[in-house]
Amino acid sequence: MRFYKYKFFFELLSLSIKKNFSVGFCFIVVAIASGIKPTLTGFDLDEGMGQRSHYWSSQPHPIGGYHNLNDEHKLIKLFEKNNLITILS
């Protein structure tokens, strides 16, 4: 796959400078780069990020410590728009 043909490649580069990608997002990018069109289930791209909790705590934690999940969600939507992934609801 040649990422330079897609607008999101440049967004990936700018995002990577700001924060680390989540493991799930990295897996999606690796699959696409490997020529695989992944099907995603269980993703809520319109999730209220301010009330997100972690598997290890029942308390909500502020978003933004390590990952920029809002930007990751925008990029995942862009992947879907470009027919690089399928999202099942």
Tell me which residue range forms the domain holding 27.
Answer: 3-40+59-88
CA distance 76 to 71: 9
* 58-78: average pLDDT: 74
pLDDT on residue 88: 92
CA distance 52 to 14: 24
Residue at 47 is within a domain: no
> pLDDT confidence of 42, banded at 50, 70, 90?
confident
Residue at 70 is within a domain: yes
* 60-89: average pLDDT: 81
More confident residue, 67 or 55: 67
Residue at 79 is within a domain: yes
Residue at 7 is within a domain: yes
Q: What mean pLDDT, rounded, does the chain reach? A: 77
CA distance 75 to 80: 9
Q: How many domains does the chain have?
A: 1
pLDDT on residue 22: 83
Residue at 54 is within a domain: no
